[in-house]
Structure 1
Amino acid sequence: MNRHTRRLAGIAAAAALSAMLSSCAAVAGVSDPPTATVGGAVSGSRASGIAAQVTTLAARATAAASGADGDALRAAAFTGDALTAANADAKLAATLSQAQKDALALTSAAPVVLAVSNGLSYPRQMLVQTTRAKSGLPVLSLLTTPDSRTPFRIAASATMLPSAEVPSFDQLAQGAPLLGSGAGLAAPPQKLLAAYASSLAFPAPAADANAPFEDDASAAAVRKNAQAQSDGLSGSGTLTSQSSAKDVVGGFKVADDRGALVFTVIQRKDTILNRTQATITPTAQFTALTGLSNIKAEATLDTLEFVVFVVPASGQARVVAAQEHLVAATGT
């Protein structure tokens, strides 16, 4: 039988290393001890110092290879899904072109602390902004610490969409209220995330006229990429994509009770079924994660999408930042 190959287009290569921020084993960003005056959980100067430490260490860690030493560095700087994404990014680093690496590079400018949580209790959070060197787009990172013994670690990070804006927060000296349960928002964060995730399915679901969110460029790109992937199969296979709400990581209430900035994580599973006897040739990213150089029957790709919403007190939420990371793949 005549065999031929078809190329499996990359689904999540555009931002393969965007959240690879790591630190050395030194403890960076331990919170200030409680004080008698309730205000920001850490002082403005201390917050700036923590942000500078993390971003400086991040610049050094982007070259850290996958393996025990690199994993230890990333574990010191990341937590939760951000750590999963960072470790996967390290495995995919060698597959990036120089142009892709350049697109992910940050400027040397000092990071800007946009918000710190108020009060004396834990967990505590910080919102930090850095900037992509090539595009000039800001990157929003949520740093968290669960207790006084644990340094701040990166829990989520995403590049802002062009023309997106982030509202103002209470001053650092005062501290900003944390998201909490999301009471008082136009849409509960978990409900919003579930609806948004469902809208990313492929084949595309029917549009929801009552969606609690506005259309955005990130969701449009996800759908466009899925359609291109499906078209590329040329009838030899089928693509299905399902996204589900994974976590509301945290966030801050906006000044004057005008809403909140909410960091979330979506888990996407793309499944390709080969309907012919042809061999599918996977991308370098797929091979790096699986070790497979061809696919005969089926391929699955798991992607984590970090999505940041501005959720108003009334009206539709809008996406202001998004970043996706291919974290796992299988094939037969």
Structure 2
Amino acid sequence: MSRPTPRHTARRTVVAAVAGALALATAGCGATDALVGLHPAPAEASAAAPLDAEGATGIAARLLAAERAVAGVPGAKGDTARAAVLRGDALLLANAVAARGQAVATTAELSKAPEPTVLAQSRGRGWPRAILATTLDPTTSTQVLHVMVSLTPTDPFRIASSVGMFGGAELPALGSEQAGAPFVEASDGTGLVLSPEKALAAYAAALARPAPSKPPASVSVDDAFGAALAASAARQSKALGTLASLRQRHVAIPKGTVAFRLADGGVVAFGLLQRTDTIAVRAGAKELVLPRRYAELVGKTKVTTSVSLKSLEPVVLIVPTEGDVTAIGASEILVSGTGR
């Protein structure tokens, strides 16, 4: 399915009326007279002109402002409010963050949201549709990529993913402004070294600690995120010494993956990983005293067997037609933990 168009690509929105066909049953002998003013309801429009640049920018700005407004709303009320603005990976992340009472890792703390720039829109006149936009977080100088998706003519755009880019990373061109950038199904590996969903799975596997003896083919973790995770794991393992062992496992959560075709035939894929850090107490140790951050999450200050910590990791991958899959953006949010 097709979707985004590059920067400043947009078109006019056409509001489609939806209604089902009305069947009229008549009784009596030969009752064939038509009822004045009663007509079949119009069918749902399956195609309409894409947004223009101004319209797409307006939708992106409205959604980002709404996201900030509902970010910290607690409980069921907050979940409902966020579901009206977010979907997919973005909704899963936001609800997990809100459940922990954390500060949202977007622009929620800013007095005024950064103005979005539309990079691309969906190709074609049908649905689903998407807008790819970017903002600059002035507090961290981080460029954040946002994907907004509308599934049907009556489904409003919602934010499906927001991921900060690495410093110095670049998003390759997404095609001409007139043609737009087509959607790519997560399972479609046509012309690519891997399909988007397989690329996410391979990237997740390559991040494991201890490192896999046979790293996945066609994927590289020599990026800022991979380096930071490796350094952190090394520090933790050194601190634990002979008292405990550390293992990190990453798995892809493919359901919310969104991907767009690049101008060079490759793909940019937005996906979500889940990391599980397992610290196992070794036989020679009596117990482990947890740092305050982990103790609050786990609900205890000491463990005698193990502690398990789960984090969600939104990522943006470039899947090429040849060469290695690489990441241009990622972050992590610690969401839950258990200990025994």
Report TM bin, short chain: 0.7 to 0.9
Distance 1:218 1:262 in 2: 16
Q: Are 1:156 and 2:161 counterparts?
A: yes
CA distance in 1 between counterparts of 2:200 and 2:80 reads 31
Contact 1:115 1:171 in 2 (8 A): no
Higher RCO (Cα < 8 Å, 6 or more apart)? 1
1:70 pairs with 78, 83, 100, which one? 78
Equivalent pair of 1:187/1:212 in contact (CA under 8 Å): no
Q: 1 CA distance for matches of 2:132 and 2:190?
A: 20
Is 1:57 the counterpart of 2:66? The answer is yes
1:186 to 193, 197, 210: 193
Quote the residue 1:45 is aligned against.
54
Deviation at 1:243, TM superposition (A): 1.2
Size of the aligned set, in residue pairs, is: 296
Give 2:287's aligned amino acid: A
C-alpha displacement at 1:103, in angstroms?
11
Whole-Å separation in 1 of the counterparts to 2:141 and 2:260: 24
Residues 38/81 of structure 1: CA separation in 2 closer, same or farther (3 Å cut): closer
SS at match of 2:267: strand
1:84 aligned to 2:84? Answer: no
Aligned-residue CA RMSD (Å)? 3.1
Consecutive unaligned residues of structure 1, counting only runs of 5 or more, are 1-30
Paired with 1:69 and 1:169, the residues of 2 have a C-alpha distance of: 38
- Using the alignment, how far apart are the partners of 2:261 and 2:118 within structure 1? 15
SS of alignment partner, residue 149 of structure 1: coil
Q: Equivalents in 2 of 1:104, 1:321: separation in Å? A: 21
Instruction: Provide Cα deviations, 1:183-240, integer angstroms capped at 9, x if missing partner.
Output: 2223322222222111111111236494333621111111211222222223221111
| Structure 2 gap ranges (5+) | 1-12, 17-43
The code of the aligned residue for 2:123 comes to N
Residues in 2 aligned to 1:211 and 1:163: alpha-carbon distance in whole angstroms: 22
Contact 2:218/2:325 (<8 A) preserved = no
Q: Find 1:127's aligned residue among 100, 122, 132.
A: 132
Cα deviation, residue 173, structure 1: 4.9
TM-score by length of 2: 0.76
Counting helix residues as a fraction of each chain, which structure ranks higher?
A: 1
- Identify which range, 154-163 or 213-222, moves more after superposition: 213-222
3-state SS, counterpart of residue 252 of structure 2: strand
Q: Does residue 113 of the first structure (1) align with residue 118 of the second (2)?
A: yes
Report deviation, 1:310.
1.8
**1:210–1:167 CA distance, 2 compared to 1 (3 A):** same
Tell me, in whole angstroms, the C-alpha distance in 2 between the residues paired with 1:213 and 1:38.
40
- Distance change >3 Å, CA 117–CA 283, structure 1 → 2: farther
Q: Scaled by the length of structure 1, what TM-score is found?
A: 0.78
Q: Once the two structures are superposed, what CA deviation does each residue of 1:12-51 show, in whole Å capped at 9, x if it has no partner?
A: xxxxxxxxxxxxxxxxxxx644799988743322211110
| Larger-gyration structure (1/2) | 2
- 1:262 is matched with 269
Distance 1:234 1:273, change over 3 A: same
Deviations 1:123-159 (A, max 9, x none): 2222111111122120011222222222222222211
What letter is aligned with 1:321?
G
Aligned partner of 1:49: which letter?
G
Structure 1 residue 162: Cα displacement: 0.8
Tell me if the contact between 1:280 and 1:296 (Cα under 8 Å) persists in the aligned partners.
no
Q: 1:69 to 1:172 in 2, by over 3 A?
A: farther
Shift in alpha-carbon separation, 1:116–1:227, aligned structure 2, 3 A: same
Q: Which residue of 2 aligns with 1:137?
A: 142
Q: What is the alpha-carbon distance in structure 1 between the residues aligned to residue 135 and residue 106 of structure 2?
A: 16
Identity %: 34
Q: Provide the rounded CA distance (Å) in 1 between the counterparts of 2:290 and 2:46.
A: 62
Task: Quote the residue 1:14 is aligned against.
Answer: none
- CA distance in 2: counterparts of 1:192 and 1:123, whole angstroms: 23
